[in-house]
């Protein structure tokens, strides 16, 4: 009987000690994995990435545009044409971002065009910056 109680206590301790990671941690790991993968895939200059992460869209570097599209594609928030999937994007918003403002801004920017999907995604991001410059989404 003592053996059964000890086993039950040990299994209870083991099951509670290995708790699932918080959703924020999973999201953070996913975003960083996408960034790393896309940096390797596109050979983008990290200086250009840092500029965009601080809302400087002065660069028209094609590798930067491919990087932006790649990160968003890996996060499942952009479709094959370069348009943002608003419902998917809302799920990974930083807590400080107002989802209603975000949805309105992105929907207003979906009509942005580009000569390819990379350019279109980049133009949507620039438009979003004009309408709601407080946050950057996962770059």
pLDDT in tens, 109-127: 989 999 999 999 999 999 9
Domain-located, residue 14: no
Residue 121 lies in domain: 21-131
Other residues' Cβ atoms within 10 Å of the Cβ of residue 69: 24
Domain-located, residue 28: yes
Name the band, by pLDDT with cuts 50, 70 and 90, for residue 11.
very low
CA 115, 119, 124, 127 dihedral sign is negative
pLDDT in tens, 73-110: 998 999 999 999 988 888 887 777 788 888 888 888 98
* Residue found by looking up tokens 């209603």 in the block: 100
If one counts the domains in the chain, the total is 1
Domain-located, residue 3: no
pLDDT in tens, 15-25: 444 444 445 55
Domain-located, residue 127: yes
pLDDT at 137: 56
Domain-located, residue 16: no
- In sequence order, the β-bridge partners of residue 78 are 84
Query: In this structure, what token pair is assigned to residue 87?
Result: 């419902």
The CATH number given to whatever domain includes residue 122 is: 1.10.238.20
Domain-located, residue 63: yes
pTM of the model: 0.76
Domain-located, residue 11: no
Domain-located, residue 109: yes
């Amino acid at each position: 009987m003592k053996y059964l109680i000890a086993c039950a206590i040990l299994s209870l301790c083991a099951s509670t000690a290995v708790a699932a990671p918080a959703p924020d941690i999973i999201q953070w790991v996913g975003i960083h994995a996408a960034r790393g993968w896309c940096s390797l895939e596109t050979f983008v200059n990290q200086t250009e990435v840092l500029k965009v992460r601080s809302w400087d869209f002065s660069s028209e570097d094609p590798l930067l545009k491919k990087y932006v599209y790649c990160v968003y594609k890996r996060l499942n928030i952009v479709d094959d044409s370069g348009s943002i999937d608003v419902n998917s994007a809302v799920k990974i918003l930083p807590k400080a971002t107002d989802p209603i403002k975000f949805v309105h801004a992105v929907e207003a920017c979906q009509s942005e065009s580009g000569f390819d999907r990379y350019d279109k995604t980049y133009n949507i991001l620039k438009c979003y910056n004009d309408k709601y410059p407080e946050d950057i989404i996962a770059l």
